[in-house]
Structure formats: C-alpha cells, structure tokens
Amino acid sequence: MFDIDNYDAPAETLKGQVIDVATGEPVLTDQGSEGIRIRLTELSYGDNVTHNPDFYCMPDGTFQNTKIFKGQYYVRIDGPFIPLVREDSRGVPVADEIKTVDIAGVTEITYEVQPFLKVEWVGEPTVSNNKVKAKVRVTRAVTPEVFKEKIEPMGDYSSSFLNVTDIQLFVSYSSSVGYRARDQRWSSEIEYTGAAFNSLLGQTITIESNGEIPSGSVVFIRAAARINYDTPIGSGTRRWNYNEATQVLIP
C-alpha cells in the first residue's frame, strides 16, 4: 500500500551574496517577501520541474539555505535591481543572466546586479520630544539611460517607471528593522507623486518618526526608497532599496 521513503533528508547548503556591480557593496534589503527573493529550480530531473519554495536574503544582502538536495539548480533572484531575467511582451527571452550551479556540500555564489537606488544616511540621527529625526540622501544607482536600455526591450516601457514614489523611515526594537520588522506606531513615510522627486535626487531629505517612543528605549532605524517598477514585472511588488540600520537611544 505504501512506499517507504528511503531518501536522505536534504542537507546541502547554498550560500550567496548580492552586490552592486559598480561598487562591490552589498545590496541591502528587507528580510521578507518585499526583499530579495531567491527561487531554486532543480534541473537534475528535466526541464519541466516545479521550483522549490522561495526564500529571501537577509538584511545585509546575503542568503543561505541549508536544506537542499544535491543536484543542479537554476538559481533565480529578484529584487530592487535591473531584472536578470528579461522577456519581451511575447515571452521571448531578451536576457537571462541567472546562474546554474551544481549544489553539493557547501556551494557559494555571488550575484552582481545594478540596484535602482542608493540610500545613505547624512550625519547622525537626532532625538527630540521622543521622536527620531534623520537625514537621508537618495541617488540613482543606475542611470536612466542604462535603465531604459535594459527595460525598454521588454515592451510597454514608460519613463514613469523611474519615478521615486516614497521614502520610508522604519523604526523597530529589532536590529533586523525593515518593512517586515517595523513598529507601525513610530515608522513614517514621505510619498511623492509623478516625477516630483527628481529635483530631490542627491539632496538631503529630513524624515521624522511618528508618535512618541518611550524614554529609555533603544531602537533601530533604517531608511528605504523605491521606484515605480515592480520585480518581477507584473508581480505588483515594488521593492525598496535600503541603507544600513543604525541604533538610537531615546533619552
């Protein structure tokens, strides 16, 4: 009636990192479905296989999965950067820069990508009346010309894809602060319509937390910004580019 499952449990490890091809810096992300997604498809059993469950990068742009069967895998990543898999409106491949790797033991890979934005702190955050005030600078990490060159062949191109739609200030007790680990009482955002943010690229933007954070608290903050473009295209998920988390003491 029943077959005995005599396969060994998956025990191979895939480790990786995602870095900016221009700077070598890690692509900082959110530790959740709005962050950098990794999707494995095992090729060992043929071409028409179902992909493994998705997993996601850690905030520092690294990833690890220690429960993989030995085999050859197509390792696809999607995030706030120029898509590595690009198809036209008919589904015809325009580019496929995804790695195929043989996973056995501990296998390590590095992806070099072109992030949409670079988000940086300007100076140190300050605290007044139990609110955190931070200054950030947002610049393009890929030029509009390169973005158009890569994205336009996919069809239905719009210059509005490049519009910066919002800046977020995520606040949390957790050092993994981000969209998935934020305290909604204190996190805040600034939204922009159309191309309104273009004149603010490279400028210092001040953003302040909401509410009143309890005195004596130690919180972590991160800033994030995103453009009007979802990855994978058609998924409806517009992913933020982040800066590094910083710790703040509330007197």
Residues 122 and 188 grouped into a single domain = yes
Q: Would strands 106-113 and 12-20 be described as parallel, antiparallel, or unpaired?
A: parallel
Residues 132 and 188 grouped into a single domain = yes
pLDDT for residue 6 is more than 60: no
pLDDT for residue 43 is more than 60: yes
Residues 65 and 155 grouped into a single domain = no
Residues 190 and 167 grouped into a single domain = yes
d(CA 226, CA 224): 7
**What percent of the chain stands above pLDDT 70?**
96
Residues 159 and 235 grouped into a single domain = yes
d(CA 172, CA 213): 10
Cβ atoms of 188 and 207 closer than 8 Å: yes
Residues 240 and 135 grouped into a single domain = yes
**pLDDT number for residue 36:** 97
**pLDDT number for residue 26:** 97
Q: For the residues 202-207, what does the mean pLDDT come to? A: 98
CATH of the domain at 74: 2.60.40.1120
Q: Which among 91, 113, 135 is the end of a domain?
A: 113
d(CA 245, CA 176): 8
Owning domain of residue 213: 117-249
Residues 165 and 203 grouped into a single domain = yes
Q: Which among 79, 95, 113 is the end of a domain?
A: 113
Compute the residue count for the chain: 251
- 1 in a domain, yes or no? no
Residues 122 and 80 grouped into a single domain = no
**pLDDT number for residue 73:** 95
- Could you give phi then psi for residue 161, rounded to 5 degrees? -55, -30
d(CA 188, CA 210): 6
For residues 166, 229, 234, 30, the Cα torsion angle rounded to the nearest 10 degrees is -60
**pLDDT digits over 88-128, tens only?**
988 899 999 999 999 999 999 999 999 999 999 999 999 99
Residues 149 and 236 grouped into a single domain = yes
Residues 109 and 154 grouped into a single domain = no
Cβ atoms of 62 and 26 closer than 8 Å: yes
- 162 in a domain, yes or no? yes
DSSP 81: B
Residues 231 and 108 grouped into a single domain = no
Q: For the residues 158-171, what does the mean pLDDT come to? A: 98
pLDDT for residue 192 is more than 80: yes
Please state the pTM of the whole predicted model. Answer: 0.93
